[in-house]
């Protein structure tokens, strides 16, 4: 019985052939000689199976500094024979230590890559992002994502006491200048030359550090002497004082990953919400462990032991996932984890909640001097709006539009998205600002003309999805303006929507889950993807000559997002309206074969290209927005000509009606009419529906590019 328990304990019971159990039962018979002999055999077999299980785990070479013979001779990665490189092993260790200014968290990365084709040499170039936040910096542009004591009613959080195992120490838990730093990376390229392994190491002079944003920095290097057949190894450590902000970990990348493991030891004082994501899933566990440290600031202090939560996440045989034109952020679908601080505690003091609910986030923002307090201020444009009698406009949407025109004419968007706004008087004085700067001025101005306007919090689509299982302040990147009308409907606007209108937001802000920040009551979630469509209606009136020349006028009415795109394309971004109209004359030429004219009737084919030609797809399809397009072509035929054949009418849709279309050709006397309609009624389409999506795109692509035949009677 002991052996069975042993096998179950080491998770190898399932790989044992039932014959072994038969032998073990037989070995338990009264004949002692037979029993002892068979038991010895069974024990040896069990040891062999245990060795087999351990060997299977150790197939991954986790020893860095000496690639195996198999790794050096590898020419193809069997799960993905077309791969130009494969990440053989990635080990990420996250460990906490205690420093004079509080916790320090280290991220130690070790990576081994095999270059299989010349194109795979691109993975020799490595970029390591890191952050430096300055809490002493004055003004609203100082980072609000740091663990700032004003967001907590915590009293003496800066002199926290850690007591365990009979020892106690006192340290500052929150520093004033919190930063990350990258310890100098080490990298080596291994190549086979004349039957021997040649090592080429990265030089310090090849490492570049650069500031790339207000608080964003990068370390970059390229491993030398990398070519087809090279094994690359590199490692680095990020030392971070941002102990309250765990870095996202993504196991997948542009190349397949044979093995990736994340290990985190997090003190129990820090409670994090942790969410796993990705199409391929990781195997994650959490157990209890401990951390022993000795304070650097007190040489006489005794070592202290504190409990930790030990997380291990493992991914095997992960597929390559590259950027895609129809996915906003590839990391949304790559295997990985994201986390956010939920609470912070010390022994003998209450637990200090950071973010548990959206109400907590609302409270933090509404109590903030640079955010919530500004919502209650009058607009610096108050007198100008009063003089313009804007508040007397009866229609609320027209009143809101008038305010938007005034604000957007006074202050121009500088191309940046932000969550934390400047003082609105400063924004007006500078005549430019981020979308947050201008949106705060817009909210104040809308309040001053009697409209209820609130921030709508979100994360831009290209930055990735918000977590599903917990609210997150850290992941928020900006806000738009929600205007609550008397008829219980909302309209939305953003300063970055140049050439737009009410409810016309840039596609990057059309998120499915935005949060309405409502003062005095709980906020709610809103789907911004349902607020606007891209609508295009085109009428073509043309005359066909017997030499195959078709001339006419094309008139297009744009509405919603398509109107914004048209104004941006034509430099008319100062206009603030829902619709736009374009008219142009054209001439196209068909092919004449004897007495028959073959011509594509669309001057600009509405679906000129089918972007979905791959047989299979790994990720969902994310369209920029919902859309509808209709093109009606009216052709006057030459005298004595008629349609050689009326094309078959097409009407098709996906089973859920999320994509649909119509193609119809008719003739009355010498007039031919072609009606083409195509609609996308849903932004997100799951992988299991890809075949149907691809099929309907292919069908209507052919309809919009096929020619019709006109023959002489």
* pLDDT for the residue numbered 135: 56
* Pair 100, 238 in one domain: yes
Distance between CA atoms of residues 680 and 661, nearest Å: 9
Is 542 contained in some domain? yes
* Residue 166 CB neighbour total at 10 angstroms: 8
Distance between CA atoms of residues 34 and 341, nearest Å: 62
* pLDDT, greater one: 170 or 475: 475
* Pair 574, 597 in one domain: yes
Domain that holds residue 13: 2-57
* Pair 435, 383 in one domain: yes
Query: C-alpha angle 49/52/57, rounded to 5°?
Result: 135
DSSP string, 396-455: HHHHHHHHHHHHHHHSEE-S---SSPPPHHHHHHHTEE-HHHHHHHHHHHHHHTT-EEEE
Model pLDDT for residues 385-405, shown as the tens digit of each residue: 999 999 999 999 999 999 999
* pLDDT, greater one: 699 or 7: 699
DSSP string, 264-321: EEEETTEEEEEEEE-SSPPEEEEEEEEEEE--TT-TTPPPEEEEEEEEEEEEEEEPP-
* pLDDT for the residue numbered 50: 43
Q: CA neighbours within 13 Å on the CB side: how many for 547?
A: 4
Alpha helices in 109-182 (DSSP H): none
Model pLDDT for residues 534-582, shown as the tens digit of each residue: 999 999 999 999 999 999 999 999 999 999 999 999 999 999 999 999 9
Helix axis angle for 435-448 and 396-410, nearest 10°, is 140
Domain end residue (candidates: 308, 337, 353)? 353
pLDDT of residue 41 exceeding 60: no
Band the pLDDT of 703: cuts 50, 70, 90: very high
* pLDDT for the residue numbered 354: 80
* pLDDT for the residue numbered 350: 77
Q: If you average pLDDT over residues 631-646, what whole number do you get?
A: 95
Query: C-alpha angle 86/87/92, rounded to 5°?
Result: 170
User: What is the enclosing helix (H) or strand (E) of 386?
Assistant: helix 382-387
pLDDT of residue 156 exceeding 60: no
* Pair 261, 156 in one domain: yes
Which region among 18-22, 103-107, 207-211 has the lowest average model confidence (pLDDT)? 18-22
Query: C-alpha angle 705/708/712, rounded to 5°?
Result: 160
Q: Which two tokens stand for residue 248?
A: 């996202």
Q: If you average pLDDT over residues 158-174, what whole number do you get?
A: 34
* Pair 150, 6 in one domain: no
Which region among 135-149, 520-534, 692-706 has the lowest average model confidence (pLDDT)? 135-149
Domain end residue (candidates: 500, 530, 560)? 530
Instruction: Describe the chain by its helix, strand, coil percentages, rounded to 5.
Output: 25, 35, 40
* SS3 (DSSP) at 673: strand
Band the pLDDT of 60: cuts 50, 70, 90: very high
* pLDDT for the residue numbered 291: 85
Q: If you average pLDDT over residues 594-605, what whole number do you get?
A: 94
* pLDDT for the residue numbered 296: 60
Model pLDDT for residues 87-99, shown as the tens digit of each residue: 999 999 999 987 6
Distance between CA atoms of residues 421 and 377, nearest Å: 13
- If one counts the domains in the chain, the total is 4
pLDDT of residue 124 exceeding 70: yes
Q: If you average pLDDT over residues 21-43, what whole number do you get?
A: 47
* pLDDT for the residue numbered 306: 86
Average pLDDT, the chain: 86
Model pLDDT for residues 440-492, shown as the tens digit of each residue: 999 999 999 999 999 999 999 999 999 999 999 999 999 999 999 998 899 99
Domain end residue (candidates: 338, 353, 368)? 353
Is 34 contained in some domain? yes
* pLDDT for the residue numbered 298: 64
Q: If you average pLDDT over residues 371-384, what whole number do you get?
A: 95
* pLDDT for the residue numbered 297: 61
Which residue, among 682, 710, 711, 678, has the nearest Cα to 697 in the 3D structure?
A: 678
* Pair 87, 235 in one domain: yes
Phi and psi, residue 26, nearest 5°: -65, -35
* Residue 382 CB neighbour total at 10 angstroms: 15
Phi and psi, residue 540, nearest 5°: -115, 125
Q: Which two tokens stand for residue 480?
A: 């738009």
* pLDDT for the residue numbered 149: 37
Phi and psi, residue 116, nearest 5°: -100, -25
* pLDDT for the residue numbered 638: 95
Is 62 contained in some domain? no
As a whole number of Å, the end-to-end CA separation of the chain is 95
Are the C-beta atoms of 277 and 262 separated by less than 8 Å?
A: no
Is 45 contained in some domain? yes
Query: Any idea which residue has 């990365």 for tokens?
Result: 109
* pLDDT for the residue numbered 670: 95
* Pair 602, 510 in one domain: no
Query: C-alpha angle 240/244/245, rounded to 5°?
Result: 70
* pLDDT for the residue numbered 172: 38
* pLDDT for the residue numbered 148: 44
Distance between CA atoms of residues 266 and 105, nearest Å: 9
Model pLDDT for residues 413-433, shown as the tens digit of each residue: 999 999 999 999 999 999 999
Q: Which two tokens stand for residue 293?
A: 């440290």
Model pLDDT for residues 206-222, shown as the tens digit of each residue: 999 999 988 899 999 99
Tell me the pairing of strands 478-484 and 659-668.
Answer: unpaired
Are the C-beta atoms of 307 and 288 separated by less than 8 Å?
A: yes
* SS3 (DSSP) at 392: helix
* Pair 473, 619 in one domain: no
* Pair 220, 163 in one domain: yes
For 303, 533, 701, the CA distances from 606, given in Å and listed in that order, are 72, 17, 8
Are the C-beta atoms of 507 and 583 separated by less than 8 Å?
A: no
Which residue, among 411, 457, 402, 444, has the nearest Cα to 430 in the 3D structure?
A: 411
* pLDDT for the residue numbered 215: 86
Alpha helices in 15-100 (DSSP H): 18-27, 32-57, 69-73
Compute the Cα dihedral for 480, 481, 484, 489 and give only its sign.
negative
* Pair 378, 513 in one domain: yes
* Pair 113, 172 in one domain: yes
Phi and psi, residue 425, nearest 5°: -65, -40
* pLDDT for the residue numbered 344: 84
Is 63 contained in some domain? no
Q: What is the CATH number of the domain that holds 187?
A: 2.60.40.3140
Radius of gyration of the chain (CA): 33
Which residue, among 545, 555, 711, has the nearest Cα to 632 in the 3D structure?
A: 555
* pLDDT for the residue numbered 225: 97
Q: If you average pLDDT over residues 45-66, what whole number do you get?
A: 62
Distance between CA atoms of residues 423 and 420, nearest Å: 10
Q: If you average pLDDT over residues 691-705, what whole number do you get?
A: 96
Q: If you average pLDDT over residues 20-34, what whole number do you get?
A: 45
* Pair 479, 539 in one domain: no
Model pLDDT for residues 331-351, shown as the tens digit of each residue: 999 999 999 999 888 766 777
CA-based diameter of the chain, in Å? 110
Are the C-beta atoms of 691 and 654 separated by less than 8 Å?
A: no
């Amino acid at each position: 019985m002991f052996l069975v328990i042993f096998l179950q304990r080491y998770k190898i019971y399932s790989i044992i052939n039932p014959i072994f159990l038969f032998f073990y039962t037989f070995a338990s018979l009264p004949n002692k000689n037979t029993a002892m002999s068979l038991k010895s055999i069974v024990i040896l077999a069990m040891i062999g199976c245990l060795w087999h299980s351990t060997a299977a785990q150790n197939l991954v070479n986790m020893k860095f500094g000496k690639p195996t013979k198999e790794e050096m001779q590898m020419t193809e990665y069997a799960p993905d024979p077309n791969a130009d490189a494969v990440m053989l092993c990635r080990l990420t260790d996250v460990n906490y230590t205690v420093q004079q200014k509080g916790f320090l968290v280290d991220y130690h990365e070790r990576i081994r890559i095999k270059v299989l084709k010349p194109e795979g040499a691109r993975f020799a170039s490595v970029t390591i992002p890191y952050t430096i936040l300055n809490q002493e910096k004055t003004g609203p542009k100082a980072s609000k994502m740091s663990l700032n004591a004003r967001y907590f009613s915590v009293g003496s959080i800066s002199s926290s006491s850690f007591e365990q195992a009979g020892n106690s120490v006192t340290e500052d838990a929150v520093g004033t200048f919190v930063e990350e730093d990258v310890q100098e990376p080490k990298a080596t390229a291994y190549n086979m030359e004349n039957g021997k392994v040649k090592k080429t190491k990265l030089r310090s002079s090849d490492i570049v550090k650069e500031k790339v944003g207000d608080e964003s920095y990068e370390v970059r290097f390229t491993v030398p002497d990398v070519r087809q057949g090279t094994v690359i190894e590199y490692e680095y450590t990020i030392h971070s004082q941002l102990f309250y902000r765990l870095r996202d970990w993504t196991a997948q990348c542009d190349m397949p990953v044979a093995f990736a493991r994340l290990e985190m030891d997090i003190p129990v004082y820090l409670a994090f919400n942790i969410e796993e994501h990705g199409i391929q899933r990781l195997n994650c566990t959490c157990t209890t462990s401990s951390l022993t440290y000795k304070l650097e600031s007190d040489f006489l202090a005794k070592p202290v032991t504190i409990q930790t939560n030990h997380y291990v996440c493992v991914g095997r045989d992960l597929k390559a996932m590259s950027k895609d034109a129809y996915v906003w952020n590839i990391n949304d679908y790559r295997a990985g984890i994201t986390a956010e601080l939920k609470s912070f505690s010390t022994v003998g003091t209450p637990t200090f909640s950071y973010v548990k609910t959206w109400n907590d986030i609302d409270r933090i923002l509404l109590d903030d001097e640079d955010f919530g307090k500004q919502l209650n201020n009058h607009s610096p444009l108050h007198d100008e709006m009063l003089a313009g009698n804007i508040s007397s406009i009866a229609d609320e949407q027209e009143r809101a539009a008038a305010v938007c025109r005034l604000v957007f004419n006074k202050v121009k968007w500088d191309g940046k998205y932000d969550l934390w706004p400047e003082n609105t008087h400063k924004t007006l004085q500078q005549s430019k600002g981020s979308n947050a700067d201008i949106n705060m001025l817009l909210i104040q101005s809308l309040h001053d003309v009697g409209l209820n306007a609130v921030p709508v919090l979100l994360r831009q689509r290209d930055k990735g999805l918000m977590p599903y299982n917990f609210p997150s302040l850290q992941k928020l990147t900006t806000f738009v303006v929600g205007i609550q009308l008397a008829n219980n409907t909302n309209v939305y606007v953003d300063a970055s929507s140049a050439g737009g209108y009410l409810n016309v937001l840039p596609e990057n802000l059309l998120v499915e889950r935005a949060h309405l920040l409502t003062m005095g009551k709980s906020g709610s979630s809103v789907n911004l993807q349902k607020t606007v469509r891209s609508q295009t209606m085109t009428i073509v009136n043309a005359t066909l000559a017997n030499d195959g020349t078709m001339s006419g006028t094309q008139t297009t009415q744009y509405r919603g997002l398509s109107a914004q795109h048209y104004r941006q394309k034509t430099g008319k971004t100062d206009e603030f309206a829902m619709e736009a109209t374009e008219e142009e004359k054209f001439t196209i030429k068909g092919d004449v074969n004897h007495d028959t004219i073959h011509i594509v009737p669309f001057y600009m084919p509405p679906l000129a290209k089918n972007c979905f030609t791959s047989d299979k797809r790994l990720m969902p399809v994310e369209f920029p927005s919902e859309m509808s397009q209709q093109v009606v072509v009216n052709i006057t035929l030459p005298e004595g000509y008629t349609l050689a054949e009326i094309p078959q009418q097409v009407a098709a849709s996906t089973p859920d009606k999320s994509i649909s279309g119509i193609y119809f050709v008719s003739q009355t006397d010498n007039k031919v009419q072609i009606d083409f309609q195509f609609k996308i009624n849903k932004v997100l389409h799951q992988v299991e529906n890809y075949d149907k999506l691809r099929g309907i795109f292919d069908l209507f692509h052919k309809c919009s590019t096929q020619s019709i035949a006109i023959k002489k009677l």
